[in-house]
Amino acid sequence: MTTVIATEKESNTLREWENDDFIMQQSRLSKASKILNLTNDELAPLKHPKRALTVVVPVKMDDGSTASFVGYRVHYDLALGPGKGGVRFHDKVNLGEVTAMAMLMTWKCALMNLPFGGAHGGIRVDRNKLTKTELERLTRRYTSEIIEMIGPSSDIAGPDLNTDEQVMAWMMDTYSVNKGYTVPSIVTGKPKSIGGSFGLTESAGFGVALSLKRFIKHKQNSKNDTSVIIQGLGQVGSSVASSLATSGFKVIGVSDSMGGLYNAKGIDIIKLANHVKTHQSMKDYKEA
C-alpha cells in the first residue's frame, strides 16, 4: 500500500491539519510502528483521519449582535465502532489539534479493546468571554451544525477542556429535540439525573492506580516491595491514593499546593482524606 497523503511536514505546502500537535502525534506513530515492525503498507492508513467537518457557528450574543465561531468534528477511525471523543472549547483550537486528539482517542480505545473508534471536536472560542446564555446558544447551534456526523451508532461526544456536564446536557437536549425523543447515548459525561454514569469523578484516578498495579506485576515486583509518593491531591490524586491504600500499598508521601507530607511507615490515607474533605487542603494535618 502506497499513500500520496503527506505524513510529516513538508517545506512549502502547509496543509489544513498539519499543525504542531498533529505532526507530533504522527512522529509518535512512526516510532511505535518501528517498535511493532509495521510495514509501510500497514502504517499508511493509520496516518490520517477518515473525515473532518469544519463549521462556522453563528451565535446571537446577549447585546443583540451576532458573532461567528469556528467549530470542528473529526472522525479519525471508526473501524472498531462508533467514534468516541471529547468536545473542547478553547481559543487556540484548530483542525490540526482536533485531528491529533481524535488520533489519540483511536489508539486509546483500540489498546483497551473497547468497541469504539476515535473522534474529537471543538470550538475556537474563549469560554471565559461568554455568558452562560451565550455559551448555551453556541453549544446548541454547534450541535445542530454537526448533527449529521454524530449519533449513538456513529459518534458519541464527551466532555473535554472547558466543557462539562452542563455542556453535555445541552448537546443531548439539542440532539433529542431534533429526533423528537430523548437520546441519552449521544453523549457521555452528562449529569447523573439524565442518565450519566456513576463513578465519573473517580474513574481517572482508579485508572492510574490500575495501571500502576499492572506495571508492578509486569516488573515482577510485589506491592510489598513498592512504596508510593503522590504529587497532587485533587480529584485524580485522591482517587489514586485511596485506591492504592485500599489495595494494601504503602503510601509514604503526598503533596498538594499547600505543602507535602512524608512518613516512611506509611500515611493513613483515609484519615488524611477526611481532613482534606473538611479543610479543603492538607494544611494543619497531623499524623497521629
Let me know: does 189 contact 175? Beta carbons within 8 Å: no
Among 79, 161, 204, 270, the residue binding a second copy under the rule CB under 8 A is: 79
CB closer to a second copy out of 136 and 160: 136
Among 154, 166, 226, 263, the residue binding a second copy under the rule CB under 8 A is: 154
4 binds a second copy (CB under 8 A): yes
Q: Which stretch binds a second copy (CB under 8 A): 25-33, 162-170, 175-183, 263-271?
A: 175-183
Per the document, the length of the chain is: 288
Number of helices (H), then strands (E), in the chain: 8, 8
State how far the Cα of 195 lies from the Cα of 165, in Å rounded to an integer: 11
Q: Which residue has the cell 448537546?
A: 171
Among 56, 111, 112, 264, the residue binding a second copy under the rule CB under 8 A is: 56
Question: Sheet holding 250-256: strands in order across?
Answer: 227-231, 250-256, 259-262
Map residue 263 onto helix, strand or coil.
coil
CB closer to a second copy out of 12 and 224: 12
Burial class of residue 57, CB neighbours in 10 A (0-12, 13-18, 19+):
buried
- Nearest to 143, CA basis, from 72, 79, 196: 72
- Minimum Å distance from CB 196 to a second copy? 13
Looking at residues 182 to 241 of the shown chain, list those that interact with a second copy (rule: CB under 8 A). 182-183, 194
Among 30, 90, 127, 144, the residue binding a second copy under the rule CB under 8 A is: 144
State how far the Cα of 221 lies from the Cα of 123, in Å rounded to an integer: 45
State how far the Cα of 220 lies from the Cα of 233, in Å rounded to an integer: 28
30 binds a second copy (CB under 8 A): no
- Minimum Å distance from CB 18 to a second copy? 10
Among 30, 145, 200, 273, the residue binding a second copy under the rule CB under 8 A is: 145
Q: Which residue has the cell 456513529?
A: 154
Q: Which stretch binds a second copy (CB under 8 A): 101-109, 142-150, 159-167, 201-209?
A: 142-150
Let me know: does 108 contact 118? Beta carbons within 8 Å: yes
- Nearest to 60, CA basis, from 122, 141, 124, 128: 141
53 binds a second copy (CB under 8 A): yes
Looking at residues 88 to 127 of the shown chain, list those that interact with a second copy (rule: CB under 8 A). 92, 94-96, 117, 124-125
11 binds a second copy (CB under 8 A): no
Number of Cβ within 10 Å of residue 261's Cβ equals 18
State how far the Cα of 27 lies from the Cα of 64, in Å rounded to an integer: 46
- Minimum Å distance from CB 61 to a second copy? 8
- Minimum Å distance from CB 46 to a second copy? 11
Binding site for a second copy (CB under 8 A): 1-5, 13-17, 19, 41, 44-45, 48-56, 58, 60-61, 64-70, 75, 78-83, 92, 94-96, 117, 124-125, 133, 136, 144-145, 148, 151, 153-155, 177-183, 194
